Amino acid sequence: MNKISQNLLISILAVAPAWGASFTAASELVNTNPSGVWSYGWAVPTGIGTLSSAFTLMPTFTAGSNGGGGLVNSWTGDNGVTGGAVVANTTTTFGSFVLGYLLMHPGNGGQLAIVAFKAPSAGSYSFSGEFASHDCCRGNGVDVSAVLGGGTFLLNTTVMPAARVPVAINFTQALSAGQSVYFTVGANGEFSFDATGLKLVVTDGQSGSPIPEPSSVIPLGLGAAVLWMKRRSL
């Protein structure tokens, strides 16, 4: 390949749009809220049908706190777990903290703990993962859901801690740019033993275009170079 076609190939690959970008909730919790596509908050249970307005960001971030067996980063409400809590494990699995999951706990006043995903661009998004009980083996279970801001439920069920049966997240949803899907954990009427893990990966399947295979790009670069050289010789 000559230098002209090499340069053309580099230019083509540089401007090719991304395809299939993915976002992983457990590994992307940081000290800003919101951060990228993620935000962490709470709402009263009656606000679940209007989360686009009822959702309130958690204000308090704690970095590297000792959770009794490892270090965790956490977003919490105004007074401990009063506004609900979202916690990401940063070291190792211990107690209610499990690598690969966010730990969510509702507030002791009945507030929902919420992780929200906001679409960075219009497209079709695939959501996969699960809600799983990380408390054993008491309490009356938790209410979990995935809901659009206007109240359309994409997932609505209950996890029972004693059963330790995860609730699968597996759906695809068309979203406009800036539209959010809210993943919620509620107390189901009783606050204790409600630690719940959220494993969630979101994949953008349609907002970009596939990057061409090298075998198809190279002939394009060579053809363009030949055409350019012919024009120069005229």
Residue stretches of the chain with pLDDT short of 70: 1-19, 66-70, 78-84, 89-92, 160-163, 206-234
pLDDT at residue 40, rounded to an integer: 94
pTM: 0.77
pLDDT at residue 89, rounded to an integer: 67
CA-based nearest residue to 181, from 205, 153, 207:
153
* 3-state DSSP assignment of residue 115: strand
Give the class (CATH, top level) of 20-210. Answer: mainly beta
Distances 77 to 134, 149, 193, 211 between C-alpha atoms, Å: 20, 20, 18, 42
pLDDT digits (tens, 9 = 90+) for 178-188: 999 999 999 88
The residues spanned by each domain of the chain are 1-16+212-234, 20-210
The answer to whether 33 touches 90, Cβ cutoff 8 Å, is no
pLDDT at residue 163, rounded to an integer: 63
pLDDT digits (tens, 9 = 90+) for 48-61: 888 989 999 998 88
pLDDT at residue 99, rounded to an integer: 83
